Amino acid sequence: MTYTAAVSGATGYAGGEVLRLLCGHPEIEIATVTAHSSAGQRLGALQPHLHELAGREVVDTTAENLAGHDVVFLALPHGQSAGVAAQLPPETVVVDAGADHRLESARAWEAFYGSEHAGAWPYGLPELIVDPSGRTQRETLPGATRIAVPGCYPTGSLLALAPALAAGLVEPRDIVIVSASGTSGAGKAVKPHLLGAETMGSMSPYGVGGGHRHTPEIEQGLAWAGGRDVSLSFTPTLAPMPRGILTTATAVLRPGVDERRVREAYHAAYGDEPFVHLLPEGQWPTTQSVLGSNHAALQLAVDPHAGRLVVSSVIDNLTKGTAGGAVQSLNLALGLPETMGLGGQGIAP
């Protein structure tokens, strides 16, 4: 294998998914796995599903342990990536699964995260349409040595609405998005409301009223797509499943836009994408259909009575929404085939 990698935060959900995907990547060798509080333990005790890596020893997350690799994955709590990245040489490809380098706006960062802004890195959502000409984020990634992996909610939301905004089919104002996420999205933090007995069989909202940290990130990406600022009401909810995000995204239709035009725009946007699929008419997406895979599936409807476009998208929050998107972007950065190591289909039923 050509490249060596270190994965930090290897005992969490994002780090574990990065490792799972790298186990199947033919050109990347997992050289080092790090975590702070579990340093010294066997990975098999902490991530028992990674059978191939069961005997690996977890070492502490230090700049010294991360140094000397071609690629470093950071799956650390928000606010910790910038400090670590600063100690890595500029030629190391650093892939940050945390939020630190996603937002261009220092003001938005400070308002939602309450700490100093670390600056934005190239945004790792290759399929994201970033201007009305249909150009995608993909173009910015080859050769990049710093990559900000998008948040999981933003991945689902941006894939759902960027084509409509870029094509001028919907208004940029008053976008409404409601997303349902599996509980792994909340991480491995041990909090009472995330216990199995509390989450199984139950749904609940959180971060309602604009307070969720993913709101400015979604607005940023939608503004790129549409070429102007957008306003968004975003409500995340917690669903009784380990993985997956179902996003229901709606926007006000511009006058005269019918379903045919919208469907054409989405076909134009995603027809050649290996991982993003507009389903045939009449077939609605299920999160199960993308479980454990880097695929996203979409369906759309034009509601003339309400005057809104409704787009449903499904992703696996840990795969396309985190680790899969990270590997896909890394492939582009390294000049490898974009789909390398990401060939897995969804796990269903």
Per CB under 8 A, the list member of 125, 297, 326, 336 interacting with a second copy is 297
Name the token pair of 188.
């491995």
Q: Using CB under 8 A, which of 299, 322, 328, 331 touches a second copy? A: 299
* Whole-number Å distance between alpha carbons of 85 and 114: 20
The span from the CA of 124 to the CA of 263, in Å, is: 25
Rounded to whole angstroms, what are the CA distances from 91 to 103, 149, 307? Answer: 22, 18, 50
Query: For residue 215, what is the DSSP state?
Result: H
**47 counts as binding a second copy under rule CB under 8 A:** yes
Return the residues of window 1-30 that contact a second copy according to CB under 8 A: 13, 16, 20, 23-24
Q: How far is CA 37 from the centre of its chain?
A: 25
Tell me the C-alpha distance between 176 and 174, whole Å. Answer: 6
Show the 3-state SS of 234-267.
EEEEECCCCCCEEEEEEEEECCCCCHHHHHHHHH
Q: Is 61 in the site for a second copy (CB under 8 A)?
A: no
Does 174 participate in binding a second copy (rule CB under 8 A)? Answer: yes
Q: Which is nearer to a second copy, 93 or 318 (CB)?
A: 318
Q: Hey, which residues between 99 and 118 contact a second copy (CB under 8 A)?
A: none
Q: Does 292 bind a second copy (CB under 8 A)?
A: yes
Token pair recorded at residue 214: 């993913």
- Taking CA atoms, 290 is separated from 110, 160, 259, 347, in Å, by 34, 15, 25, 7
Residues 192-221 close enough to bind a second copy by CB under 8 A: 192, 194-206, 208-211, 215
Which span sits near a second copy by CB under 8 A: 46-54, 60-68, 94-102, 146-154? 46-54
Cα torsion for 38, 42, 45, 48, to the nearest 10°? 120
Residue 264 or 273 having the CB closest to a second copy: 273
Binding mask 237-276 for a second copy (x = CB under 8 A): x-xxxxxx-x-x-x-x------------------------
142 binds a second copy (CB under 8 A): no
Question: Quick check: 56 binds a second copy (CB under 8 A)?
Answer: no
Nearer to a second copy, 131 or 303 (CB): 303
Q: Is 23 a catalytic residue?
A: no
Catalytic residue among 22, 50, 152, 257: 152
Q: Give the residue numbers marked as catalytic.
A: 152
